[in-house]
Amino acid sequence: MRIKTRIILLFASVVVVIAATLSGMLYAEFKINQALLSSRSVYAIVSQTSQLKRLATEISNTGISRLQAQWAKNTTALKQAIDSHHGDETITAEMRREVAQLDEVFSSLATAFDGRGKTGRIADDGQGHLYRINHLTMLLHSISTLADRIAAKSHTRIQWVQKQRDRVIIGSLTVWCGFILLWCIALWTGIMSPMRRLTESIAVIGKGDLKHRVWVRDTGDEMNNLMISFNLMLDRLADLTVSRKRVLDAAEHERIRIGRHLHEGVCQDLTGVCMELELISGESDHKNTIQRIRDRVARTQKDIRQVAKDLHPVMLDEFGLIMTLEWLCDKHGNSFDILFQPHIDEADIPRSLYTAIFRITQEAVSNAEKHGWADTVHVQLNKGNSTIDLSIEDNGQGFDSSREYEGSGLISMRERAAAEQGVLTVNTSPGQGCTIIVSFPLEPCIKPTALKADFVRM
């Protein structure tokens, strides 16, 4: 699945979760408001019932007329509270009946007390008065019991609504945590993990290991395509490296061929010319002219031999790299102090690196003499764990490495180092000399045919 598709799906899921969370919270808020309204009506019922019970204790012959108005007010308020309560209809209907009977009993009791006040005797016998008082008390007790039941149910409902709200909150938090986890997994598997593999591979390749490849999953997303393109780029770079090495090897072979031709052909012909001149010098009257010709031919022969050596020193094939480097340092020893320290055995150096090491050393020493005006040059050849390291350090004038300046000498050295999968580093600054360090891997050069199928799992 593509990263863009994952992000769209996650975004849509987040929108759905937000909508569901808001809906759940609004529903819980609505239920809480309903429970609060119900609890207010329950509070009013319980309060008015308590007021009626208090008034019932104050009923007497002298106070009945005073209590009638307050009784009517409280019963009216109780009926309104019952009508406003949206709870169990069975209980509220029973309470309405109880309140209606309560009004009838209170009215009959008030009539009885009112008749006794007018005639001087009670309108009913004492037994009937006591019955009405008891009936009134029983009705108030029944209404109070019903109010308690309503209050208990309202409390239970409020607790239930609170639990539902807590469940909605906990569920929303759980879903959000799940989506955050999904986001993290999607970002890690889709972006962070491939970027980590790509960064680690770049670090490995930066050390000169062009055989390394990024492990690619067959996911078809953008990062997968990026890493496939990166591996293809490395294949092309490796092909170019091998091609460049072949070009340099071909140039070196051409140097060898030209050098041998100059040494074995032109120099031999010049030697023959010198011998012919020697033979005719005794018979000719132009001895001085012949001598000048012989001297000029000798100088030309010497120059050609020097050119042949520069093209390809025969010592490199006959005596090895270390002795050739010693000869090179001795050759430049007349111009400045030069020290060569090989901390490696000849057998540990692959023959494929002979030419590259010699040419880089030759170019670096020549640059130190011609451009750096150095007095001292220090050449070292060391063996690392998996590399062969060449170091050329001089005390010349150096140059500003921050400027984009690379002469043909530096370019040639970089080309030769890169052809052998080596890494060339130049450390220099104006007035501080120059140090050139080249690290060659000991592993053999990679082949272009093996590159396209070589994927390294990280």
Tell me the residue type at 313: P
Give the integer Cα–Cα distance in Å for 392 and 248: 22
As a whole number, the mean pLDDT across the chain is 76
- Of all residues in the chain, the percent with pLDDT exceeding 70 is 75
Which DSSP symbol is given to 215? -
- DSSP notation for 163-198: HHHHHHHHHHHHHHHHHHHHHHHHHIIIIIHHHHHH
Does residue 406 register a pLDDT over 60?
A: no
* Residue 80, pLDDT above cutoff 80: yes
For the ranges 81-85, 230-234, 312-316, 366-370, which has the lowest average pLDDT?
Answer: 312-316
Backbone angles phi, psi at 385, to 5 degrees: -65, -45
pLDDT at 201: 83
pLDDT value at residue 449: 38
Q: Write out pLDDT tens, residues 90-109.
A: 878 888 888 888 888 878 87
Enter the tokens of residue 35. Answer: 């429970």
E-strand ranges in 297-409 read 337-343, 376-383, 387-394
* CA proximity to 157, closest of 20, 37, 47: 37
Q: Rounded to the nearest 10 degrees, what angle do helices 222-261 and 3-56 cross at?
A: 150
Tell whether the model's pLDDT for residue 149 goes beyond 90. Answer: no
Q: 220 pLDDT band (50/70/90 cuts)?
A: low
Helices (H) and strands (E) in the chain, counts: 13, 5
Average pLDDT on 259-271 reads 67
Could you tell me the pLDDT band of residue 54, with boundaries at 50, 70 and 90? confident
pLDDT at 158: 77
Cβ 227 vs Cβ 194: under 8 Å: yes
Closest CA to 220 of 2, 444, 451: 2
Taking residues 382-386, report their average pLDDT: 86
pLDDT value for 311? 63
Dist CA 431 CA 396 (whole Å): 7
The token pair at 356 is 């590259």
Q: Of 406, 446, 438, whose CA–CA distance to 422 is shortest?
A: 438
d(CA 458, CA 143): 80
Distance, CA of 223 to chain centre: 13
Measured CA to CA, the distance from residue 224 to residue 2 in angstroms comes to 9
Average pLDDT value for residue range 13-31: 79
Choose the most confident range, by mean pLDDT, from 47-56, 222-231, 316-325: 316-325
**Residue 404 vs residues 399, 401, 449, 456: alpha-carbon distances, Å:** 11, 7, 35, 35
Q: Using the predicted structure, report yes or no on whether residue 124 has a pLDDT greater than 60.
A: no
Q: Tell me: pLDDT of 86 over 80.
A: no
Output the pLDDT for position 122.
44
Distances (CA, A) of 325 to 88, 142, 343, 357, 373: 108, 119, 13, 9, 21
Q: In what order do the strands lie in the sheet with 376-383?
A: 337-343, 376-383, 387-394, 434-441, 423-428
Split at pLDDT 50, 70, 90, the class of 378 is very high
Which residues does residue 339 pair with via DSSP β-bridges, in sequence order? 378
- Asked whether residue 77 carries a pLDDT value surpassing 50, the answer given is yes
Mean pLDDT computed over 218-238: 77
Beta carbons of 47 and 148 less than 8 angstroms apart: no
Supply the pLDDT for residue 173. 82
| pLDDT mean over 395-418 | 75
**Dist CA 87 CA 188 (whole Å):** 54
pLDDT digits (tens, 9 = 90+) for 150-199: 778 777 877 887 787 788 788 878 887 887 787 777 777 777 777 888 88
* Predicted local confidence at residue 114, as pLDDT: 64
d(CA 266, CA 16): 89
Residue 179: per-residue pLDDT: 75
Decide if 194 contacts 223 (C-beta within 8 A).
yes
User: What would the mean pLDDT of 23-39 be, rounded to a whole number?
Assistant: 76
